[in-house]
Structure 1
């Protein structure tokens, strides 16, 4: 029988009460010094390790903690610092580290994008002109700390070289071998120093192996791991994959490493089928990812135990580590403190802490220990949730069962709608607008807390929100923006706000997860059938419109973003749930139009992040994602202008699907990679209204008029000026008031500069 142990791949960094976020932001604000930041983050880091040890996890990862982002950590460890930052070599100062992530007065931040198909964001390494150097051995420092301070023989975690390079930018892909050759000696040095320290195992994360890699990719990977194998004598490598099934399973299984980790949750059965067909090398260790590292539901322990039993049989005596499907970075810390949820729902939850318990239970059961009572508790919890009335709304199920009968196309095509909308709105050339939200100041957050705690009445809070709306309608008019927004001051989060007003959602009090940097989000839980209850945004939007003669956009979050930014029930397909959300949102769109709001923005910033990691699976997802959006927006009149917003670049490969959304205007977040997206429009025509974000809202710096003029000029080389809008690249919720006003003034000035030139040319 196989030797079976429990292991983990990574733990949430943020702390049970977001202590991590608070410490980092206090440092940025100058409220604490660097030494105090180090002390506070060390306490969180050691607490995470101790918790895993106390829970009985046998293989505990170290170096999964970060001060911002693990890819930025890897870049700084190898001296990958863009030239625009004043870096002189050696260990990277925190000021430079955070400058790369957030920008500063001297230099713009590096690009930020999604970590595979999750809602975590990483800082994209820039390799152009870089000669890598080893600045500090982070895994070694983490290993020593755990051993010296807690007596834990941790397993250091290192982002794999090939994954790191494939997620980087600024090098010629035709010369990738040269880039590998420049980094590989540094990786070998890190591993050799760990070996000399007496480390037994290292976890090297190569999630790139679950994407659509090709034979050339495989050759590069083989070269890397053959070099590692030749260098090491006593240090064992656990090659860890996650987020799906590996490509080229036989070749990956044959790599000269001592262990391989596979995801048996999100692999759609492909990893398991590969084991059945090809077996597994008995001399290696298999990391069996059988607990979902990305969702928050209790595991069906009976089903996962059966899966684990088959895996153990298939590997025929090889050592097996029972582990999550991925790092637990993507789930909240603990469900223990969720005392306000209905017991039926709370009992069905498992956050990071509870998942550790499940790992230990499965390990014990597979090793022959008696855990029947614990399995029964889990079984009863899941059964109670399944029988809940919230999961059995027949009116919702019936509509989705007949989704083909629902309207999903506008009455007329864009060319006809455009003429009608131009006649109705009479907007200037290159109209200006914003994406939706304005700064959520300390005063606004305090007012919301007073209302939630019952210290303010709903009418008192409502009047406060109206004051904010009045203030910012006035500011927008004074700045000279053409299409206004009400500012979303009543909303904590663009998904949570709608979930609180729709049936089928629940909300935690402490279910925070890291999105990017110190930015944490508290995803809603879609636990039941989703249904419309009553209008959600009409009151505030109609009030804002009453204050101005300029158009005010209604602001909604789209069905795919609500889906992708929530923890979704696992008993229905994501496609099915998306249609439920779409049909509920359609009623809100219709309510806004009926109330006289005829510019309506339905944001889909998360559409692309939902793409499957394998291109062969893209079309199916894109087809139902586009359908869900159109179900939400297709019943309005021709003169009602539908806007949408999306995040980040790399849209060239889904441009047909973006066009198929049939939104009258799309705005795209692109300021950190503006040129790359503009280049994609040189190859692909976009025939609808579009605004490419002309400044980066993730940085506190105020961009100059000339910077924005340069971005507009570049975009208008490939896009129709008559269809072009000018806007920031995302909402302004996280920015300060003065920097927001100053940036928008410059944005309007840039637009006016182009309008003047246009008038002169056409006189």
Structure 2
């Protein structure tokens, strides 16, 4: 049996929300960076150093403010700054964790390289990772801010382990550090935190390790703090229903990319947590129409009732053209608001698997 957790979603309903039904709209995390921000990073790395670290910090502040406001303009209920300060989901955190070191980029596919870190010593929590980012974003908008954090299993799996006896041991140590970071974020006011574990989709047999890591992460977290788990596309039948035992409120799943072929996986046993359903495909530049997204949202009601459905893109949208990413978000929010109105009017028959 899965663990029952308190309902945390109502705190994200806008005070002036026009409908009785509420579909929480958000994004997974990443967003296309303005081209001038990439240029600013290049300038900061030049030997002449005419563009210094202070200039780069100002440029990242400007980008974070711009993208946060873009998310607000699209109408999202829970906002992210698009991860404007982050270069890569493992590398960014490894630079902030004692015990990691870097030995140069590793080729991962095509002409793409990843500065894969090594764990050369005991990992330690030396400084907050995301508190400044959260504080800044919260100062830009009065909407709730969601904080995505790369999970300990992915931090371990996508690094060279040169110190611990096993990758599993490393993951558990990192889980303790993530717990410390969440404590700092909660103290700063964060109430919506998402753990990103894309590596789980590529090695689903390790779901028990991820579950144990989440037990460490969730230890001591207040009941009003919403914890989510994002898992990228994979064979979900290999991790369901086991994931229901994990101590999170919400599972964010990439289903649009697979044309919802795996929807039936989650119908038995009953999906008794919240479902963040990917309703736009981040792997195509084609912008889904509002009607197409409405149809995708309604598919979610085959798994959960409306009060358990969150609406989001499949994954981070950082590889899309910025205009395309924005239009997908805007259409997604419009579709969600239309579905809410139809639910209020009784025009949608909800036949989820738990009935």
TM-score (norm: length of structure 1): 0.43
CA shift for structure 1 position 472? 1.4
Provide the residue aligned with 2:120 in structure 1: 527
**From 488, 502, 508, the counterpart of 2:103:** 508
**From 542, 560, 569, the counterpart of 2:135:** 542
Number of corresponding residues:
337
Please show how residues 328-477 of structure 1 align to structure 2 within 5 Å. 414-415=4-5, 417-418=6-7, 421-422=8-9, 424-426=11-13, 429-453=22-46, 454-477=49-72
**From 331, 336, 339, the counterpart of 1:746:** 331
Provide the residue aligned with 1:758 in structure 2: 343
Provide the residue aligned with 2:302 in structure 1: 717
CA shift for structure 1 position 425? 3.3
Please give the secondary structure, in 2, of the residue aligned with 1:550: coil
Please give the secondary structure, in 2, of the residue aligned with 1:528: strand
Q: Does the 8 A contact of 1:605 with 1:647 survive in 2?
A: yes
Q: Does the 8 A contact of 2:218 with 2:247 survive in 1?
A: no
CA shift for structure 1 position 571? 5.3
C-alpha distance 751-660 of structure 1, shift in aligned 2 (>3 A):
same
Provide the residue aligned with 2:245 in structure 1: 660
Q: Does the 8 A contact of 1:585 with 1:632 survive in 2?
A: yes
2:223 aligned with 1:638: yes
Find the aligned partners of 2:100 and 2:157 in 1 and give their Cα distance: 14
Q: 1:555-578: per-residue Cα shift (whole Å, max 9, x none)?
A: 210001111222222751111111
Provide the residue aligned with 2:84 in structure 1: 489
CA shift for structure 1 position 458? 2.5
Provide the residue aligned with 1:562 in structure 2: 155
**From 664, 679, 687, the counterpart of 2:264:** 679
C-alpha distance 481-755 of structure 1, shift in aligned 2 (>3 A):
same
C-alpha distance 446-653 of structure 1, shift in aligned 2 (>3 A):
same
Find the aligned partners of 1:571 and 1:542 in 2 and give their Cα distance: 34
Find the aligned partners of 1:523 and 1:761 in 2 and give their Cα distance: 52
Q: Does the 8 A contact of 2:240 with 2:266 survive in 1?
A: no
Find the aligned partners of 1:650 and 1:610 in 2 and give their Cα distance: 10
Q: 1:163-192: per-residue Cα shift (whole Å, max 9, x none)?
A: xxxxxxxxxxxxxxxxxxxxxxxxxxxxxx
2:314 aligned with 1:693: no
Please give the secondary structure, in 2, of the residue aligned with 1:672: coil
Q: Does the 8 A contact of 2:149 with 2:193 survive in 1?
A: yes
Find the aligned partners of 1:759 and 1:519 in 2 and give their Cα distance: 48
Provide the residue aligned with 1:346 in structure 2: none
Find the aligned partners of 1:500 and 1:436 in 2 and give their Cα distance: 19
C-alpha distance 469-673 of structure 1, shift in aligned 2 (>3 A):
same
Find the aligned partners of 2:235 and 2:215 in 1 and give their Cα distance: 22
Find the aligned partners of 2:42 and 2:56 in 1 and give their Cα distance: 10
Please give the secondary structure, in 2, of the residue aligned with 1:747: helix
Q: 1:323-350: per-residue Cα shift (whole Å, max 9, x none)?
A: xxxxxxxxxxxxxxxxxxxxxxxxxxxx
Find the aligned partners of 1:656 and 1:688 in 2 and give their Cα distance: 11
Please give the secondary structure, in 2, of the residue aligned with 1:512: strand
Please give the secondary structure, in 2, of the residue aligned with 1:726: strand
CA shift for structure 1 position 423? 5.0
C-alpha distance 711-649 of structure 1, shift in aligned 2 (>3 A):
farther
C-alpha distance 607-649 of structure 1, shift in aligned 2 (>3 A):
closer
Provide the residue aligned with 1:624 in structure 2: 209
Q: Which has the higher helix share?
A: 1
CA shift for structure 1 position 528? 2.0
Ranges in structure 2 where 5+ consecutive residues have no aligned partner: 348-355
Find the aligned partners of 1:684 and 1:527 in 2 and give their Cα distance: 43
**From 583, 598, 602, the counterpart of 2:195:** 602
Q: Does the 8 A contact of 1:440 with 1:734 survive in 2?
A: no
Q: Does the 8 A contact of 2:99 with 2:124 survive in 1?
A: yes
Find the aligned partners of 2:39 and 2:118 in 1 and give their Cα distance: 25
Find the aligned partners of 1:750 and 1:739 in 2 and give their Cα distance: 16
Please show how residues 557-596 of structure 1 align to structure 2 within 5 Å. 557-569=150-162, 572-596=165-189
Q: Does the 8 A contact of 2:271 with 2:303 survive in 1?
A: no
Highest relative contact order (Cα 8 Å, sep 6+), 1 or 2? 2
